[in-house]
Amino acid sequence: MHGFFFGTLRENLTLGAPHASDEQIFDALEVSGGAVFVRRLAKGLDHPIMEGGNGLSGGQRQSLLLARMLLRSPNIVLLDEPSASLDETYGARVYSAVTSMAWQPHTGRRDAPGAGTGAG
């Protein structure tokens, strides 16, 4: 199972985060490495997705699922080789975002840990 269902890319990405804005979605896609791919699609976030992610490459599926995870703002994350299908640059970005908890829940913004709190 690849975690995708028949519907639009937006519907697949916002599963568990139905009120995510386009800005939040693209922020998550930037971190996961999927933003360039999605921007190149003629229908963008309204691009149709097939059951199981058929028609997507392994790297595309991986980056989209990582973006979905980021949009959910989970308290606990268990990942098994999250960057396995990504190139080195995006793999490093994903690792950095996940390990530093740089993703700020419900804001869709990436900030340095402790930003705005006086911590540092």
pLDDT given at position 113: 37
Give the mean pLDDT of the chain.
81
3-state secondary structure of 16: coil
Task: Report pLDDT for 109.
Answer: 52
What is the model's pLDDT at position 117? 41
Higher pLDDT, 77 or 115: 77
pTM confidence score: 0.73
Classify residue 7 by its DSSP letter. E
One-letter amino acid of 17: A
Res. 71: pLDDT tops 60:
yes
Residue that is written with structure tokens 């973006």 in the block: 67
Q: What is the pLDDT of residues 7-59, one digit of tens each?
A: 999 999 999 999 999 999 999 998 888 999 999 999 999 999 999 999 998 88
> Which residues, 6+ apart, have CB-to-CB distance to 44 below 8 Å?
9, 38
Q: What is the mean pLDDT of residues 61-71?
A: 90
- Domain borders along the chain are 7-109
Q: What homologous superfamily does CATH list for 7-109?
A: P-loop containing nucleotide triphosphate hydrolases (3.40.50.300)
DSSP of 25-41: HHHHHHHHT-HHHHHHS
